[in-house]
Amino acid sequence: MKAIYPGTFDPITNGHLDVIERAARLFTEVIVAVAVNPEKHPFFDMDERVAMIRESTEHLSNVETVAFPGLLVDLAAQLGAQVIVKGLRAVSDFEYEFQMAQMNRKLNPGVETVFMTTASQYSFLSSSMAKQIVKLGGDISDLVPAPVLRRLRERLASEG
């Protein structure tokens, strides 16, 4: 069975990677789908976000990464994916995720949303927090994959 794991991934963190690795053991194929999401004004452009995910998931042979500008359920139909995987970090994630799952079911009842609990050591983590900490000189080496850490440091060095 093919699954889609969607998000903005600005950038991918070890919390996301943990969900991807576990999903890759459950499903024959996992497509990491990177949303355009203009509302979030991403720090990394689409090509960089996709490249960081590809580099961070090189060890997973059944994982692919794609960018998508439209509706998630349309992408699922286009790729023949039956499942949307979402990670739940805390109860606070639940309400919004529940709403999205219901809306996605309304848009396409043939696609099922499956929730996976995030590993406890990453339950407090978000992409924004990782970016903020590194900008302020903090150590996030155990919170993001190595390719992300490298790009974050390069980007901040180039911005002075």
Site for ligand COA in 131-160 (CB under 6 A): none
Token representation of residue 153: 């440091």
- Residue 123 CB, nearest distance to ligand COA (Å)? 8
Respond yes or no: is residue 127 known to be catalytic: yes
The span from the CA of 107 to the CA of 101, in Å, is 10
Q: Interface with ligand COA includes 77 (CB under 6 A)?
A: no
Strands 29-35 and 63-68: parallel
Q: In the set 60, 66, 77, 100, which binds ligand COA (CB under 6 A)?
A: 100
Q: Interface with ligand COA includes 127 (CB under 6 A)?
A: yes
Q: Which stretch binds ligand COA (CB under 6 A): 23-31, 54-62, 117-125, 151-159?
A: 117-125
What secondary structure, in 3-state letters, does 94-110 show? Answer: HHHHHHHHHHHHHHCCC
Choice among 86, 89, 131, 151 that is catalytic = 89
The span from the CA of 151 to the CA of 158, in Å, is 10
Strands 112-117 and 2-7: unpaired
Nearer CB in complex with ligand COA: 27/122: 122
Active site residue ranges: 16, 40, 89, 127
The residue ranges that bind ligand COA (CB under 6 A) are: 6-8, 10, 13, 15-16, 19, 35, 37, 71-72, 87, 89, 100, 103-104, 118, 122, 125-128
